[in-house]
Amino acid sequence: MSDDLRLMAVHAHPDDESSKGAATMAKYVSEGVEVLVATCTGGERGSILNPKLQGDAFIEKNMHEVRRKEMAEAREILGVKQAWLGFVDSGLPEGDPLPPLPDGCFALKDVDEAAEALVRLIREFKPQVITTYDENGGYPHPDHIMTHKITMAAFEAAGDPARYPDAGEPWQPLKVYYNQGFNRPRTVALHEAMLERGLESPYGEWLERWKQFERKERTITTYVPCADFFAIRDKALIAHATQIDPDGPFFKIPMEIQQEVWPTEEYELAKSLVDTSLPEDDLFAGIRDN
């Protein structure tokens, strides 16, 4: 049955697929599920976040090409297929007041127009399940918020023959999920596990900052067991060398602690056209038996 299952993960930039739900994708690939990552932008306005590479003139000049190569390596590690939707990175506006977004960028596109590219890909790949970000983008990057908008629009439109008639034969996905991997319960559990073992936690300041913001906790509906694939997740993330420091805080929790304390990746079921019982441990719950 897994040979007939298809999962699409819609992400804003190259590297997002490796930091959000990567172990889940690797798990499903190992089971024979076909997995496709849809990358909305090329990440060309991204900053060099790895301090070891900052100041590299070649990377700064050729960010688009560098990030495409990083994405190619990461998708090979994960065993997934990947497609570019072709939009231009909006960048993360900084300052007070915030500067306007650059002309022609992804976040300024008309949602209905931008959704057509994703509808076309959905109709071609025919996924039963789609994952993306919640209405806040997971965090308020304009490209992440726009990714949410076009994914939800495409989910509704892909099965309607009256919508985007030139974008292929209609196909209706059955479920759409929001990635919720960076949630408070997980962070607290890993933080406390480190302290209990007499180790320094990288999450102390993070949790303190979290207290400063009024943030409604999301409803986690689905916990996918994928601890055996955490190492693949990390390898894929490190492949995005411009975006991640392999010696940084992201990798400070020993693997055996992660696998013991929090062996899942988490999702919020946003829409389902099939019956399912919550909580779930499978993105294809309600689909495998039908």
Question: What residues are designated binding site for Zn(2+)?
Answer: 13, 16, 144
Structural domain including 33 reads 2-182+219-272
**Based on the domain organization, do 116 and 242 belong to the same domain?**
yes
Which residue type sits at 40? C
**Based on the domain organization, do 57 and 79 belong to the same domain?**
yes
**How many other β-carbons are positioned within 10 Å of the β-carbon of residue 192?**
13
Compute the distance between CA of residue 286 and CA of residue 275 in angstroms, rounded to an integer: 6
**Based on the domain organization, do 70 and 188 belong to the same domain?**
no
- Sheet with 129-132, side-by-side order of all strands: 81-87, 34-41, 6-11, 129-132, 175-179, 264-272, 222-225
Q: What predicted TM-score, i.e. pTM, was given to this entire model?
A: 0.95
Res 214: pLDDT:
61
Res 79: pLDDT:
98
Question: What residues are designated binding site?
Answer: 13, 16, 144
Asked if residue 152 lies in contact with residue 112, where contact means CB atoms within 8 angstroms, the answer is: no
**Based on the domain organization, do 201 and 85 belong to the same domain?**
no
**Based on the domain organization, do 196 and 252 belong to the same domain?**
no
Q: Output DSSP code: residue 218.
A: P
189 falls within a domain: yes
Backbone angles phi, psi at 241, to 5 degrees: -65, -30
What is the SS3 assignment for 208?
A: helix
| Domain total of the chain | 2
- The CATH number that applies at residue 111 is 3.40.50.10320
Res 89: pLDDT:
97
**Based on the domain organization, do 149 and 89 belong to the same domain?**
yes
Mean pLDDT by 10 residues, the chain (290 residues): 87 97 98 98 94 94 96 98 98 88 97 98 98 92 97 98 98 98 93 97 88 78 98 98 92 97 98 97 92
Asked if residue 163 lies in contact with residue 119, where contact means CB atoms within 8 angstroms, the answer is: yes
30 falls within a domain: yes
Asked if residue 214 lies in contact with residue 255, where contact means CB atoms within 8 angstroms, the answer is: no
**Based on the domain organization, do 192 and 246 belong to the same domain?**
no
In whole angstroms, how far apart are CA 258 and each of 194, 208, 226, 255?
10, 21, 11, 5
90 falls within a domain: yes
Compute the distance between CA of residue 80 and CA of residue 92 in angstroms, rounded to an integer: 27
**Based on the domain organization, do 157 and 188 belong to the same domain?**
no
**Based on the domain organization, do 14 and 110 belong to the same domain?**
yes
91 falls within a domain: yes
57 falls within a domain: yes
Compute the distance between CA of residue 29 and CA of residue 113 in angstroms, rounded to an integer: 32
Alpha helices, DSSP H only, in 95-138? 111-125
Res 3: pLDDT:
67
**Based on the domain organization, do 168 and 190 belong to the same domain?**
no
286 falls within a domain: no
Res 209: pLDDT:
83
**Based on the domain organization, do 177 and 101 belong to the same domain?**
yes
**Based on the domain organization, do 152 and 206 belong to the same domain?**
no
What is the SS3 assignment for 11?
A: strand
